[in-house]
Amino acid sequence: MKNKLWLIILLLAVAIIGLFLWQQLHSDSKLPEGIVSSNGRLELERFDIASLYPGRVEDILVEEGEDVEQDQLLAKLSSTQSQSQLTAAQAGEQRAQQLVSQAKAGKAQGEQAVARAEAEIAARVEQQKVAKMELDNARQMRRENLISPSELNKRQAAYNGAVSAVQAARAARSEAVAALGRLDAQISEAQAGVAQARAQETAAASANDDMSIRSPKAGRVEYHIAKVGSVIAAGNKVVSLLDTSDVYMNIFLPNEQMSPLQVGDEARIILDGVDMVWPAEVSYIATEAQFTPKSVETQNEREKLMFKVRLKLPADTALQYKGLLKGGMTGNGYVRSSADVAWPENLQVRLSEASSTATNHASEQASEQSSKQSPKQTTDTNNPSSATTSTTASAANNSTGDNS
């Protein structure tokens, strides 16, 4: 009799536990028709900052978990070689400028030589005219037998000399003009050398500036990839950043629930431990099905094939709550099969202004504190996991999706 009583009690306990588990497993059945959900993890888009040139890491100026602004200096590489190349390029430009100046000075002298040759030609032409007049007079006087033949020959020789002088002056002018043309060519060549030297200087200055690695956009430092003192090659990554404006959650839905969805559809996200309903939209729908990741819970144990759907938070909302949103946070994403389906009361957007104010205030205090202390003094060696949580969770989610 006693054994039967214990058996009844055991059966009742099993029935109660089974009912509880069934209710937990079918909790999504309380959602209105046309709304489906799936669990997922929050992710922040990552972008790695790499070096364009090889060098030794001299200093890393940001800490893991620190928020950075666009163009903020992240790290410095040894710039001795690049600075030397820049100095050499600047000296090359100066030499090219000197060659241009010398060529222009030579051109000025050449122009003066041409002017002198033209003046010489004018003077010799006048002398030729005078000699011609004297020769004509001498011939007339010789016909009248007023002068001797030798005097006529003397006047003829003077005229011939004047003609030769004009020809010599014209030859000198032609030579001066030719020299002036060569000087123009030298100026053009020297100016091309200046342009080439400036291009080399610009390239050297750009390479030297690129030894100071800056953030291409605002974000949050996830972790350091390179260490101070290490030598890296061109293209090696130095710092990994998270885009705090690009926050999303990947959920997985079976074919019948995914089919009516379109990119741009409205969605909702509820994170575990955060009493808020976040607005989102469908930003991506996979074109091919994949095996269900192990981290995804489904009503029918495990569906064979699922489609990945990405729910992305608005950028302004993500930035407003960037101190609260962290990669790896678990939660549920909700989508509608039709825009005509109304969101129930518990899925209406609900954001806490107090949390946003507190987050911004905490960020401002941290920024002020970091500005008063040196980077070495603000290093928190007891909390390295704060910057790596999102990476670990994101990598785990992606790896489980691929390995399943």
Report the run of H or E that residue 107 belongs to, with start and end: helix 80-143
In this structure, are strands 266-271 and 55-60 parallel, antiparallel, or unpaired?
A: unpaired
**Quick one: DSSP state of residue 348?**
S
Cβ atoms of 220 and 126 within 8 Å: the answer is no
3-class DSSP assignment, residue 176: helix
**What is the C-alpha separation between 319 and 162, in angstroms, rounded?**
94
81-209 folds as Helix Hairpins (1.10.287)
User: pLDDT tens for residues 96-115?
Assistant: 888 888 878 877 887 788 88
Give Rg (Cα) of the chain.
44
Measured CA to CA in angstroms, residue 143 lies from 136, 153, 155, 221 at distances of 11, 14, 14, 113
Cβ atoms of 268 and 280 within 8 Å: the answer is yes
User: Exposed, middle or buried, 158 (CB in 10 Å: 0-12/13-18/19+)?
Assistant: middle
User: pLDDT tens for residues 265-316?
Assistant: 999 999 999 999 999 999 999 988 877 666 555 555 445 678 999 999 999 9
Cβ atoms of 228 and 78 within 8 Å: the answer is no
**What is the C-alpha separation between 37 and 297, in angstroms, rounded?**
10
**What is the C-alpha separation between 191 and 105, in angstroms, rounded?**
14
pLDDT score at 403? 37
pLDDT score at 34? 85
pLDDT score at 293? 66
Cβ atoms of 384 and 64 within 8 Å: the answer is yes
31-47+60-67+236-375+388-403 folds as Elongation Factor Tu (Ef-tu); domain 3 (2.40.30)
CATH 1.10.287 intervals, the chain? 81-209
What does residue 262 show for φ and ψ, rounded to 5 degrees?
A: -135, 150
**Beta-carbon neighbour count of residue 269 at 10 Å?**
27
Structural tokens at position 39? 């669990």
pLDDT score at 92? 79
pLDDT score at 402? 41
pLDDT score at 2? 61
pLDDT score at 300? 56
CA atoms within 13 A on the CB side of 56: 6
pLDDT score at 362? 46
Identity of the residue numbered 348: Q
Cβ atoms of 179 and 201 within 8 Å: the answer is no
pLDDT along the chain (404 residues), means of 10: 70 73 51 87 93 89 92 86 74 81 80 82 85 85 83 86 85 82 80 82 79 91 91 91 94 88 93 93 90 60 75 94 91 90 91 58 47 39 35 37 37
CATH 2.40.30.170 intervals, the chain? 31-47+60-67+236-375+388-403
Q: In what side-by-side order are the strands of the sheet with 231-232?
A: 212-214, 73-77, 55-60, 231-232
Structural tokens at position 344? 């129930």
Structural tokens at position 147? 């002068």
pLDDT score at 244? 92
pLDDT score at 295? 58
pLDDT score at 366? 44
pLDDT score at 48? 93
Longest dimension (CA), the chain: 181
**What is the C-alpha separation between 404 and 400, in angstroms, rounded?**
6
**What is the C-alpha separation between 66 and 48, in angstroms, rounded?**
15
**Quick one: DSSP state of residue 350?**
B
